[in-house]
Amino acid sequence: MALMQVLQDKTDANYDIVKFIQHTLGFTPDDIPERINGYVLDENSCRFYSSRTYHKLDTPHQQDFAGERACCHAFQDIVWDLVRQLQPTAKDTRSFPAKLMFLHDRVVQGDFASYKPDFGYGAPIRANKHRWEFLGACGEMKKTRTNHYRAVRNRPITMARIRQLKKRQKVLHRIIVKREASEPPKPPKLPKLSKPPKPSPKPPSHRMTTRAGAKRKAAPEPVVHVTKKRKAPAVKTKQAEETSSSPPPDPRKRQLIDFSDAELQMAKYINELLSHGIRSYAFGFLIQETRMSLWYVDRMGMATSQSFDIFHDPELFLLVIAALHSANRHQLGVIPLVKYPDGTAQSHNKATLELPRAVSGKGTAIKKSLSFRLRVTPSSPLVVAYGAIGRGTTVVPITAEGHARKLFGDDKLVAKMSWPSVHRKSEATMIRVIRKKVGEHKDAKKCLKNIVDLKCSLDVSGMEVKLPRALMDLSEPYEPRLLRTLVMKEYLPLENIRSLNDFKTVYKHIFEAHHWVFVIAGILHRDPSLSNFLFYYDDDGNVVGILADWDVSSSKEDLAALRDGVDKAPRPEELIDVSTTVPKTDEEAEPKDETKTHDAESTEQRPRYRTGTGPFMALDLLATTKIVHRYRHDLESFFYILCFFCAQFRPSTAEKPKAHFAYLHGWESGNTKQVHTTKYSFLENHDGAFKALFKDSDKRYLPLFQEWIWPLYKVMFQHVSEFSAALERSYGKVELALGENDGEMAEFNMDNFRCTSDKADGMITFEKFKGILIS
């Protein structure tokens, strides 16, 4: 259900099939090899496929294995026979030597869900050895009916019929560049596919359709800014809005999509595929009975093709198989900046990251191309944020080569690759501003070692990395994005901490650095979490804390401007309660600084929301979207990080040699309301909930509770829940007054709202927090 909510208004359905293949896989009917006698579907396999059903049930003991083998193996045989006709030579010279395979109801290995797609396109290895990061595509089958296959349907696919496909491309006028016309043109009519004979009984429709009677997503209600003149808001009321004329709907905007069970299952698989590997998009297909549709998803949304009957439109089926089996890694979604040697299908060995240009850590242009060798090992794994839609942060371990090695030396590095909003300030720019200003201040520069060491960065557009969306004429994306790559020094996550004293040192380093950045550079981090608390050991063996991930930070000026218009914060409908990664957006401008350049997450997979990471977000920000992020909210996050670490850290043991953080029920939910309720009860200490959290703490780290956590709670955080509830009530009264068009009462309650927030600011301070840490 959560995934459907994310994709429902970000999906374009029924895209022309020939154009879909051309724009995603870079393949056209002209690319199909000439064959004198044309092509043909294997008759025996087609007959077997038609006469069998495939029911994939929840438990393997209920599987109809005979039906499964006949149905899925038959489809696989049809595909393989076409491939043999397309590639008659035995030697496989493709750069990505893969094939479409039935996966025998086996779990594809990965870092998240245990999913079992029916088909995978990858290296021909044992089904139980497949990994999501090395699959090029995935597929799902739903076949619940049998029918008699007539051989007459298996007419040859002649070259003349293949050439007829090119005429379909002329039916639709797809515009590659953004429309400049003042009025959007009417959507073109899609060409009709050949109709199969009417079956008996009539099969139910399996096509993805627009919800009957569904309305477009309502525009946000008008934002009302209450001034101190105590006048009624000079905006339209809801009643006035309803009677006012509205502009005609834009046909290019999406309508809500209803997913069938089969389509939702396919969406889960393609979401999982994009959550692994170094990808910018993912490709897949869905077969329902004898109809096939193609699927594409990137960080901005999803698109599906027209469905077609593989037996009645065999030339389209041939086009799909030919395109898939001739595609290279990049045409199947791997980011083109990453190069793999030809013939490699199951390894990152010898792969490289190639940056055609870059901007140095100090803001100067690097005009020469830079090359880095991928260094993916069990101890330095590839880390990808879960979820297709959003930034999709991918952390790739690398080492410099050639010219890059001359610039950056032999240090172990990482490339942080993500797809943030084009409207978001560059994280690289923020880091440069921070390092410059902190480094110039005589008292703050001691904390420079606690800020990430940025080597270089690169921004590229979707067009430059050949993102299919840049070619496809889809609806306007939910949020336009670009690819940003940051090359930084590699640091260690908190799972690698060696002792309690080391943790305390790392924590105090980061606490001090966070404060100096706010005071001197005027930048608030806004997302302290376990995942961006990193560290390293220097040459003398001393531990050094690092505060990373500045991608949602904001300047003081931006936050101050928003504070005077609290109602400008995101509205409730902008928060999506999902367990996948949700993009975090804001409208603040980048801080003005002479170091600003024109260059255009973390390893821990915690649920993320618009202004933070759920388990560590301040209670105010979980309760209401109407309060602007303040310094005290970051301090509250520091407190939750301390609590989470003490309660959930499990150091390595002889039985479990790998240290880890145990799952914390309620805190790590993807639903903001549940996270808020759980943390509210924790702070209220309902039924001893506060101390109960630490009952399973590791004895080596339990002293944190008595020395830091309990004193911080008693001095500052035991009243946080009261302030949070008071703020929520105050703004509820503001909205009630605005609904009644009572400007004076709205202003009165807004003053109470801000007064309560100011009191909370005075209760949670840096001085009080630091006093306990150093006592």
End-to-end CA distance of the chain: 49
What global pTM score does this model have? 0.80
C-beta separation of 422 from 413 below 8 A:
no
C-beta separation of 73 from 52 below 8 A:
no
DSSP string for 40-105: ---HHHHHHHHT--B---SSGGG--HHHHHHHHHHHHHHHHHHHHHH--SSS---SS--EEEE-TT
Closest among 131, 129, 105 to 119, alpha carbons compared: 105
**Residue 188 one-letter amino acid:** P
Pairing mode of beta strands 454-460, 483-489: antiparallel
Per-residue confidence (pLDDT) for residue 752, from 0 to 100 = 87
State the 10-residue block means of pLDDT for the chain, 775 residues long.
Answer: 74 92 94 90 89 65 52 92 84 78 90 91 79 94 79 70 72 38 42 46 40 38 34 34 39 64 93 96 95 96 94 94 94 95 80 97 96 93 91 96 96 96 91 96 96 97 93 82 96 96 98 97 95 95 97 84 46 32 33 35 42 86 82 97 97 87 89 90 87 94 96 94 86 86 87 87 95 92
Per-residue confidence (pLDDT) for residue 254, from 0 to 100 = 53
Q: Which helix (H) or strand (E) holds 167?
A: helix 159-169
Per-residue confidence (pLDDT) for residue 150, from 0 to 100 = 64
Phi, psi of 46 (to 5 degrees): -65, -40
Could you tell me the two tokens for 182? 């003042």
C-beta separation of 209 from 258 below 8 A:
yes
Cα-based torsion angle of the residue sequence 269, 272, 277, 279 in order, rounded to the nearest 10 degrees: 80
**Neighbour-count burial for 483-513, b at 16+ CB within 10 Å, e otherwise:** bbbbbbbbbebbbebeebebbbbbbebbbbb
CA distance 321 to 19: 15
Q: Which residues neighbour 234 within 8 Å (Cβ) at sequence distance 6 or greater?
A: none
**Residue 225 one-letter amino acid:** H
Per-residue confidence (pLDDT) for residue 557, from 0 to 100 = 81
Per-residue confidence (pLDDT) for residue 92, from 0 to 100 = 65
Per-residue pLDDT tens digits for 238-286? 333 333 334 444 444 455 677 888 999 999 999 999 999 999 999 999 9
Start-end of H helices in 419-524: 427-440, 500-516
C-beta separation of 232 from 743 below 8 A:
yes
For the chain, helix (H) and strand (E) counts, in that order, are 21, 28
What is the C-alpha R_g of the chain?
Answer: 28
Closest among 330, 300, 296 to 15, alpha carbons compared: 296
Under CATH, which number does the domain 335-339+349-490 receive? 3.30.200.20
Domain boundaries along the sequence of the chain: 2-177+256-332, 335-339+349-490
| Residue indicated by tokens 């459907």 | 4
**C-alpha angle with apex 17: 16 to 23, nearest 5 degrees?**
85
Phi, psi of 341 (to 5 degrees): -65, 145
- The residues that bridge with 417 in the sheet, in sequence order, are 394, 485
Cα 698 to Cα 287, 648, 653, 702, 705: the distances in Å are 50, 8, 11, 6, 11
Phi, psi of 138 (to 5 degrees): -135, 160
Q: Which residues neighbour 149 within 8 Å (Cβ) at sequence distance 6 or greater?
A: 46, 47, 49, 50, 51, 311
CA distance 9 to 253: 9
C-beta separation of 472 from 15 below 8 A:
yes
CA distance 706 to 686: 20
Collapsing DSSP to helix, strand or coil, 119 comes out as: strand
**Residue 250 one-letter amino acid:** D
| Residue indicated by tokens 């639709």 | 172
Pairing mode of beta strands 413-418, 383-384: unpaired
| Residue indicated by tokens 């804001």 | 586
CA distance 567 to 62: 55
For 459, counting Cβ atoms within 10 Å of its Cβ (0-12 exposed, 13-18 middle, 19+ buried), the class is: buried
**Residue 685 one-letter amino acid:** N
Could you tell me the two tokens for 663? 């799952």
